[in-house]
Structure 1
Amino acid sequence: MAAVEALRLVLLYVHLIGFALLLGGSIAQYVSGTIRINPAMLWGAVIQLLSGLGLAAPLRDGDEPSPAKLLTKLLIALAIFTMVFFSRKRDAVNRGHFLGIIVLTLANAAVAVFWR
């Protein structure tokens, strides 16, 4: 296995951990009844954004995703990060705002899986 492919796989693994933290943290908060941003959500959003930028690097010898897909994922990830970061110190977050974070997280995963 080439070093670049190993790096890509590690970044993908880290990216999936960020997704799990973000979605798992948000679902746990939503089910608990106290709708607020928890540390898992914040770390998940940060990890998703940073590892996603690493995954977007053109290192695959022409096998890169389309620029439109990468831009779409970047915009969704930035929206999620912004929504999480600027709401992190509130005692309670609006239900619609919180559901927006969950929907955007799922939409970002859907773009990654279904957009070829």
Structure 2
Amino acid sequence: MEALRLVLRYAHLVGFAVLLGGSVAQYLSGRIRINPAMLYGAGAQVVTGLALAAPLPRDHQPDPVKLAVKGIVAVMIFVMVFFPRKRAEVNKGHFLAVVGLTLANAAVATFWH
């Protein structure tokens, strides 16, 4: 079970990297839109996050409130990326909110014990 948890954590981190990297690359291109990397990264974050939150046998169970906060933020990011994905361009504030929520979700994971 520990190996499964580590693989899920690795996939979760890769999803974060793809989401944030896709966002930064798109922002630097000068054309603010939702790219496929952002969509796949957000989807990976939600799916692997749900799998990581499953009550697997382990010594220390994660805080349910932290999981709820991370889950809500991850779903918000996914919704903000999924629905405007076919637009030629999105509002700069919307795009920066996706980036900000992504960084906030990572901060919750890192600093909330």
For 1:16, the equivalent position in structure 2 comes to 13
1:54 is matched with which residue? 51
The separation in 1 between residues aligned to 2:58 and 2:7, in whole angstroms, is: 18
Instruction: Give the corresponding residue for 1:111.
Output: 108
Tell me the equivalent position of 2:36: 39
Shift of the alpha carbon at 1:65?
1.1
1:88 corresponds to: 85
Dislocated runs of 4+, deviation >3 Å: none
- State the AA in 2 paired with 1:44: G
Shift of 1:75: 0.3
Identity of aligned residues (%): 65
Per the TM alignment, residue 101 of structure 1 is displaced from its structure 2 partner at its CA by 0.1
Deviation at 1:59, TM superposition (A): 1.1
Which structure 2 segments of 5+ residues have no match? none
TM-score with structure 1 length normalisation?
Answer: 0.95
C-alpha distance in structure 2 between counterparts of 1:45 and 1:60, whole Å: 27
Distance in 2, matches of 1:54 and 1:7, equals 10
Post-superposition Cα deviations, 1:54-84, rounded to whole Å, max 9, x if no partner, equal 0001114351211100000000000000000
Distance 2:77 2:43 in 1: 10
Deviations along 1:25-51, one digit per CA (max 9) or x if unpaired, are: 001001111000001000000000000
Other-structure match for 1:63: 60
- TM, length-normalised to structure 2: 0.98
